[in-house]
Chains A and B, each alone.
Chain A
Amino acid sequence: MEQATSRQGNLIELATFQVGEALCGMEIQQIQEINKLPQITKVPQAPQDILGILNLRGQIVTVIDLAQRLGLGATEITPQVRVIIVNTAGGKVGLLVKQIHDVVEVDLLKKEPAPVNMGGMQGRYFAGVCKQENSLIGLLHLDKVLACNEEQ
């Protein structure tokens, strides 16, 4: 009985997407919406990993190139790229990803600690990895990814 609930409670839905060559995921609850890349306004002098700002129904949202943020090269803009809008304590932020994949259900109990390096990205950005049948999903630690530069 107790085991059953705990298993139930540890099942979460992950939205998965591709950053560089790696498959990453975050809990679907953290995501407000996923959009195609709209008109972006460039911000001169902004940090390199910031693509620009976009107008989300009257709100100004900063768009971060996730790949660049995680230490990979800039994401090439293709028709497949998407902007994931996430709600954070400091307001909404948009994350540019190479491609969106499925929503998968994973068991948090089966989560394993992240390796030091994952597809060229530092392990500290990940809360852990979840094994799927034929893939490995890096679970993004959103707070660490979005922490402002001063700590980096």
Chain B
Amino acid sequence: MSNEDNVLLQTFVDESLKHLADIEKDLRFIEKGGGDLDEAPVDKVFRVVHSIKGSAGFVGLTVVKDLSQAIENILGLIRGRKLMPTPAVINALLLATEALQKLLVNAPESKAIDISVHLAALHAVATGMVSTEISPLSLDKPMQPTAEGSVSVPIAKSDPLSSKESAMSEAVQTQNVSSRQPENAIIASTATDQVGLDSSPVQTDTSLRVSVSLLDQLMNLAGELVLSRNQLLQTISSGAVHEAEAVGQRIDQVTSELQEAIMLTRMQPIGNVFGKFPRVVRDLSKMLGKQLDLTIIGQEVELDKTIIEALGDPLTHLIRNGVIHGIETLEERVQKGKPRRGTMLLKAYHAAGQVVIEIHDDGRGVDGDLVAATALTRGLITAEQAKVMSAKERINLILLPGFPTAPEETDISGRGVGMDLVKANLDHLGGSIDIESTVGKGTTISIKLPLTLAIIPCQIIMTGDERYAIPQVNLEELLRIPAAQIKERVERVGDAEVVRLRGNLLPLIRMADVLTIERTYYDDEQSSIRSDRRCNIADRRSKTTPLFASATQTLNRSDAGDEETAGRHSQQDRRQSPASALNIVVVSTGVMKYGLIVDRLLDSEEIVIKPLGRHLQQCQGYAGATIMGDGRIALILDVANLARMAGLTSLEGSRRALELAEVARDSQTKSRDQQSLLIFRSSSTEQFGVPLHLVERVEKIRQAEIEMLGNRRVLQYRGGSLPLVRLDDTAGVLPLVEQENLLVIVFHLMGRDVGLLASGPVDAVEVSTEIDVSTLRQPGIMGSAIISGKTTLLVDIFAIVQGVHPEWCPASASREEWAEGEYSATVLIVDDSVFFRNQVRSYLEEVGLKVLEGCDGVDAWRVLEENAETIAMVVTDIEMPNMDGFLLARKIKDSPQYNQLPVIALTTLAAEEDVAKGKAAGIDAYHIKLDRERLVECVCQYLQLAETV
């Protein structure tokens, strides 16, 4: 046996023993539960035994494999509620797992050990004929060779060591009964070994290699720290306050450097884990008769030691799964016209302060529909849930416990169980897993991990007078809904509260409710915390509605006692005051996103995680605690568990998730034409709007800061001059109001910053109202809309700037070019919104292009067919009825006639996922609605390309 094999075997044995270590406790727990089955421990034990079975098959320990297979069968029956975990059943399992431990300790000789007794016992249990020889606990005769069950009695009561010993001696006796004499000696000798081994639980490395230079650096920093401390002491005793500041800074610097250096000592290259995979893949593929290459990139990426150690298991499982279920057999590949050799790519890299590990294979991929169907038949999801799930959600269903992946069973990874184990492991590390797959093309599994578990950046929030920390990893965004908007943005779906956020519905959880503490809110004006008596966030108690009026009255009456003196500003007033705005932390748990309502949002800080004592282990909502700058403690929230506590789960949950999904679809249809606008004024009466995404910043300035150079206005801004324009420079609107304080809305156009002078109040609104593009149109104004009861002119900022600085506009240059070339291409614009079509049309016509329009994918295809000769390019929206932009692009790219046609997508969706999806559909370029300059540039570029081709 080669050295490599030995190492492999040893790793397997160590791992398995570690996993088996607390299996007894879990089994006991299952037994205690009896008919009232708790699935979590059963799942856990099942996974442990399953992974031992899988690995044993791989390293060739057939006896181990057989025994664990038998155990797994029983557990499967219990999990499927086909078998009651009676004491007799659990006893048989306990004995069998103990035998398994023995086999593992003595792995090289395991083949020679007879396990038929256990197999027979397990078989008897499985077939419902619980053998009396095994089961009766009442046969309390500890050392009687035939009564195997008796050893469990001491296990349950005595301390582990002696129970192991008695188990051991019993085991020896069992072996004695069997006929094979020579092995008995081996077992007997190993028995004592195991006792020694088990009394000290298997542990991971407790020592670490650190480079001397790093150690020197640490020493140096420690020296610095001592120096700074001395300085501080001196400053304090001399009472020189201004010097204390400098010393404080120095200490700050030294401690952060020290912290970084210490973190470095814990960092290890991920190659330590990756190293074993080439062999795993080689052996496995040879065994399965598959041909495949594994490429590893990013071995040098470093991660915290604890993370590296914990990554081994899940990664091995994923790689093995990839080889076994992902990559097709040779014949299958040839048949499908794929290269004979499959490829797998294992890649690690840094991204946004996290480490990403990607496992990609070019195998058969995961069929989301099939997965959903299987989940359905297994009762993991309901038919309604299956209906509303996205393709990605379907694929990710394989992460649910008890999910089989492969249609057929293979020797090694068995029924493909274990993705849930992988997910559980990664969750534990604060990581996330995401699966993307195309049937027939392959699968990419991405794992995101934090660099370290010791220090993490967190958002600090406050609820009920205590501070809490939410790890930045989980944080998506912070949202504050002003009191006045709560009514329209927060809705109720069943018993759930949801908020509209950019057209999507986000479920809300009140932190106070989940933690069952009193609801409070923070009053900014009085800097005090008050208790909140609203039952619903969007309580619509309006005086005009008789139903609610009576509710208000009763409520006021009940409040009267303690509110009377505090001046009854009436419930209505209080809700409209800034204090009752909602502070929402939008968090994501990997599977789902939700909003957590808190009293106050504080700073974001780097915190050191400290564990909670054992008495608080049962509190699920916390991941630990940390000590804040003022010495007080803040609890760290576990957002995934909070969601679970609030009964909010995306996959397991239910009616609520279903309702949310339905409303989300509704709102999507409604919000298709939604546009975010920044509302402002120029003169004091007219209201203007400009697309919010064009705005870089809004700054407050004083009139006196504006400098006039000739007839141009500029403002000193961030070390440069910011050219300023006014609406009335170009458009025929009332002049800018003359007042001391003005606003500058900064845009980034044509490669430079431009400021538009305006006056307040400013507001950001989402509108879906009809936009009138004709009535009030004029240079610099693209149209009008009614926003909050007022006619609002929509500013065409390009035209405004162009009117003042015509020389800036690159489009005018290209227009001449086009004119010179006497070439005028035709572009097909596809969008279901007339407003956007007109807008894009005007942009493109301005640069001398001809434009045809389509109102959705189907319509566009018709137009395309009719004008096949002339159309040189398609600019399409993504979200459209009948046929969306993705489908249209795919259709175009798939047709031999049009596949050369460039397709540019114009959309409000520009998440990375969407871009990737678009690319996959053959979309050549992606643009956010409506950045005229980039769009025009891009159109010209592609037209030129098309021309040269």
Contact = CB atoms under 8 A, between A and B. Distances in A.
A45 B613 contact: no
Given A55-B632, A60-B625, A45 B516 contact: yes
Contacts of B631: 39, 55
Contacts of B619: 43, 45-46
A62 B612 contact: yes
Contact of A41 (B614, B621, B635): B635
A92 B631 CA distance: 18
B618 A44 contact: no
Contact of A46 (B466, B616, B634): B616
A65 to B, nearest CB: 12
Nearest to A39: B632
A3 B616 CA distance: 46
B457 interface: no
B615 interface: yes
Contact of A60 (B517, B611, B621): B611
B551 interface: no
B615 A60 contact: no
Given A53-B616, A55-B627, A44 B611 contact: no
Nearest to A93: B613
B886 interface: no
A103 B570 CA distance: 59
B592 interface: no
A139 to B, nearest CB: 22
The DSSP consensus for interface residues of chain B is: loop
Interface string B598-617: 00000000000011111111
Contacts of A59: 610
A79 interface: no
Given A39-B632, A43-B635, A55-B632, A50 B615 contact: yes
A17 B531 CA distance: 38
Interface string B620-634: 111001010001111
A88 B635 CA distance: 23
A61 B632 contact: no
How many of chain A's residues touch chain B, expressed as a range?
20 to 34
Interface string A79-92: 00000000000111
A53 B515 contact: no
A53 B625 contact: yes
A60 B610 contact: yes
Contacts of B633: 41, 53-55, 60
A31 B274 CA distance: 48
A47 interface: yes
Interface string A138-152: 000000001011000
A151 to B, nearest CB: 12
Nearest to A54: B633
A145 to B, nearest CB: 11
A146 B615 CA distance: 8
Contact of B618 (A47, A91, A146): A47
Interface of B: 464, 466, 515-517, 610-622, 625, 627, 631-635
13 contacts: A41-B634, A42-B466, A43-B622, A44-B517, A45-B620, A47-B615, A53-B633, A59-B610, A60-B613, A60-B625, A91-B613, A91-B614, A148-B617
Given A41-B466, A54-B633, A93-B615, 9 more contacts: A39-B631, A41-B625, A41-B634, A59-B610, A60-B612, A62-B613, A62-B614, A92-B613, A149-B618
The 9 closest A-B pairs by CB, nearest first: A44-B515, A62-B613, A41-B633, A90-B614, A60-B610, A44-B517, A62-B615, A60-B625, A55-B627
